[in-house]
């Protein structure tokens, strides 16, 4: 249920707006009394901390050419923030830098941030920042959070989208941005409504602001019923608050998949090491709950069976199917259900290297009565000597970026026991394989330039990449204060991010490998080299690149699709989140800038960065 609260914007220097430290006379003890604030007794401590956002005096100019004004500004800023800290305010709204230069502003704010504990600093900046003013555009990165002004005329969707990758705490909507409907009530345009809905989806507060002299209030999704009806009726902005509350209440409920993923949003996880490590039961259980994935696998196996055995031979021929990497048996179950659905006879080998999962497989076979159909093999698929060849080879070895859980190496080893005319599901595999120790080690060049290229290779299983603004993810990596975390690829449900360009395909692996290729060396090698060209839309404006998001897209068999690439993602599937490759230093891009990056990975243009994860020194996938 929506909750609204009057979050007051408290002007810290409200007692005397003309106050300047240099004009205050010192007393006999040589100290200047602070006449800049009212009493802290007007509210209780809990009210100060939960209902008030401080507003620092707007006259402050930390980069003024006038030394007296500059020194007064520094003194006043520290005094007012100290008072706000004394009141235990949740946040303080800083004035924006006055000019194009903000070096001293940055110095002062960063010094203050080192001493703050729980209070946030918000920087109020316009939703549209002039792109020819790089210092002003970068000033938003000086503080931990910022509020933004929403103009009555909104910029392009690309320009708006970049803000969802930044640490935006609140959006300030002036009453001038509202229209009036036929009944005389305030309302917003369709574009404004859609934008505010996105704000709510990203936990961004909406602050209603009026012209000078009119109080302010904000929409908060936690406190509406704490406000009395009488207070609501007295508030001069009540109609505006009620309208924004109406927008929240009419939002569609989150689908089941999104509700499941809420706790994982923007949470960094190291990719699984299923070959080097034995997965735990709870990890298997999480993946086994993904019904959509196994529905798709069952469809693929059914189609393969129907193609392999015609109806007239269904009662006389038996299909040999091998599940390589069987885990606790979900693909075995899906294959047997496909057999029952198609009326084809089936013999199954369940190959699994994790001895703990093998225990569960034996119990499952006994429980389901599959002893005459399923043979359990406790072995690494790469070294198992199969007693017969397989008609169908089924696996689910893909990672978020396709090859980052060693699918190529594993399936290359298993290919020897697939019949020449056999079917591999998936039919092909994407990724960037480098060497057996580290799939992220050979220096593969990705040039992310201005040209576009074909996004999907028809019928292929392919990895994708795109540059993103993701300040939260970047700051979470930075908090570890070491290089190795910046050289690690993370699995993450990316939410607070701006995708700066459409995805581009990277690499493709095909299984089974062709032995008749015109380029037999390339067809047998898992090494890849490719150059990509991205176009950053001109109307996006300036942006910060904090790293790259990676995905995969697959065809299991024929028209049966599986993947997480955003434009073609399989709905209601949560087995895979995106992968995130962070940059040690974010790259500031102007509209139309060329961004070149090596995958190992390092940026080469518009400025150079160190090579990340050289020779797999910080992260590798172990055999």
Residues, the chain: 623
Active site residue 396: yes
214: buried, middle or exposed (CB in 10 Å: 19+, 13-18, 0-12)?
Answer: exposed
What's the DSSP call for residue 450?
S
What's the rounded Cα separation, in Å, for the pair 489 and 599?
Answer: 12
Torsion angles phi and psi, residue 14, rounded to 5: -75, -25
What's the rounded Cα separation, in Å, for the pair 116 and 113?
Answer: 5
Q: How many CA atoms lie within 13 A of 244 on its CB side?
A: 32
423 to 129, 293, 379, 418: CA distances (angstroms): 55, 19, 22, 8
Chain-centroid distance of CA 284 in Å reads 23
- What ranges make up the beta strands (E) of 87-144? 91-94, 120-123, 125-126
Binding residues for S-adenosyl-L-methionine: 284, 293-294, 352, 380-381
Torsion angles phi and psi, residue 50, rounded to 5: -110, -20
- The string of DSSP letters for 398-425 reads -BTTBSTT-HHHHHHHHGGGEEEEEEEE
What's the DSSP call for residue 557?
E
618 to 172, 442, 489, 547: CA distances (angstroms): 42, 14, 10, 17
What's the rounded Cα separation, in Å, for the pair 575 and 619?
Answer: 22
What's the DSSP call for residue 522?
H
Q: Are 206 and 219 in contact (CB under 8 A)?
A: yes
Marked catalytic residue, from 74, 405, 409, 600: 405
What's the rounded Cα separation, in Å, for the pair 334 and 302?
Answer: 9
Q: Are 496 and 165 in contact (CB under 8 A)?
A: yes
What's the rounded Cα separation, in Å, for the pair 588 and 459?
Answer: 37
What's the rounded Cα separation, in Å, for the pair 425 and 432?
Answer: 19
Binding residues: 284, 293-294, 352, 380-381
What's the rounded Cα separation, in Å, for the pair 298 and 281?
Answer: 23
219 to 161, 193, 224, 445: CA distances (angstroms): 21, 14, 8, 47
Dihedral sign, Cα of residue 603, residue 604, residue 606, residue 607? positive
Active site residue 409: no
Structure tokens at 136: 């002003």
Marked catalytic residue, from 396, 565, 596, 600: 396
Active-site residue numbers?
396, 405
């Amino acid at each position: 249920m929506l909750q609204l609260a009057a979050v007051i914007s408290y002007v810290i220097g409200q007692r005397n707006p003309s106050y300047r430290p240099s004009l205050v006379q010192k007393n006999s003890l040589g100290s200047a009394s602070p006449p800049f604030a009212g009493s802290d007794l007007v509210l209780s401590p809990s009210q100060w901390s939960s209902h008030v956002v401080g507003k620092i005096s707007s006259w402050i100019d930390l980069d003024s050419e006038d030394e007296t004004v500059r020194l007064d500004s520094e003194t006043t800023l520290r005094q007012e923030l100290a008072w706000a800290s004394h009141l235990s305010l949740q946040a303080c709204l800083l004035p924006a830098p006055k000019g194009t230069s903000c070096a001293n502003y940055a110095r002062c704010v960063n010094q203050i941030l080192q001493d703050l504990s729980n209070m946030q600093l918000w920087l109020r900046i316009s939703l549209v920042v002039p792109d020819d003013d790089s210092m002003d555009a970068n000033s938003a990165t000086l503080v931990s959070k910022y509020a933004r002004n929403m103009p009555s005329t909104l910029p392009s969707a690309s320009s708006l989208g970049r803000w969802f990758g930044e640490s935006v705490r609140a959006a300030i909507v002036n009453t001038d941005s509202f229209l009036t409907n036929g009944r005389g009530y305030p309302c917003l345009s369709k574009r404004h409504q859609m934008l505010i809905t996105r704000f709510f989806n990203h936990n961004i507060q909406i602050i209603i602001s009026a012209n000078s002299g009119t109080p302010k209030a904000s929409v908060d999704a936690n406190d509406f019923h704490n406000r009395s009806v009488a207070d609501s009726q007295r508030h001069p902005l009540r109609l505006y608050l009620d309208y924004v509350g109406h927008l929240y209440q009419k939002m569609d409920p989150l689908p089941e998949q999104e509700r499941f993923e809420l706790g994982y949003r923007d949470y960094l996880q190291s990719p699984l090491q299923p070959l080097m490590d034995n997965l735990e039961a709870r990890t298997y259980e999480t993946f086994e709950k993904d019904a959509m994935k196994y529905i798709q696998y069952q469809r693929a196996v059914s189609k393969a069976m129907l193609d392999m055995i015609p109806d007239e031979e269904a009662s006389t021929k038996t299909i040999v199917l091998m599940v390589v990497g069987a885990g606790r048996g979900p693909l075995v179950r899906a294959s047997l259900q496909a057999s029952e659905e198609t009326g084809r006879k089936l013999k199954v080998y369940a190959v699994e290297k994790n001895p703990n999962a093998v225990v569960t497989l034996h119990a499952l076979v006994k429980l389901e009565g599959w002893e005459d159909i399923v043979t359990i093999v406790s072995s690494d698929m790469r070294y198992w000597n199969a007693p017969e060849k397989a008609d169908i080879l089924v696996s689910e070895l893909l990672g978020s970026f396709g090859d980052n859980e060693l699918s190529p190496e594993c399936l290359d080893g298993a290919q020897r026991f697939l019949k020449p005319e056999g079917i591999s599901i998936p039919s092909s595999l994407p990724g960037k394989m480098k060497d057996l120790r580290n799939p992220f080690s050979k220096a593969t060049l990705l040039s992310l330039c201005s040209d576009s290229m074909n996004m999907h290779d028809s019928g292929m299983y392919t990895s994708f990449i795109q540059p993103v603004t993701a300040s939260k993810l970047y700051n979470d990596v930075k908090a570890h204060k070491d290089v190795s975390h910046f050289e690690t690829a993370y699995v993450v449900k990316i939410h607070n991010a701006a995708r700066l360009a459409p995805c581009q395909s990277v690499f493709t692996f095909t299984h089974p490998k062709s032995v008749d290729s015109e380029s037999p060396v390339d067809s047998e090698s898992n090494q890849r080299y490719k150059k990509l060209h991205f176009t950053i839309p001109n109307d996006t404006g300036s942006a910060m690149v904090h790293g790259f998001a990676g995905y995969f897209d697959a065809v299991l068999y024929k028209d049966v699709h599986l993947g997480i690439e955003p434009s073609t993602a399989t709905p209601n599937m949560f087995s895979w989140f995106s992968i995130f490759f962070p940059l040690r230093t974010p790259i500031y891009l102007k509209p139309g800038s060329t961004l070149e990056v090596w995958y190992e990975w390092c940026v080469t243009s518009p400025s150079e960065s160190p090579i990340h994860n050289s020779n797999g020194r910080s992260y590798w996938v172990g055999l």
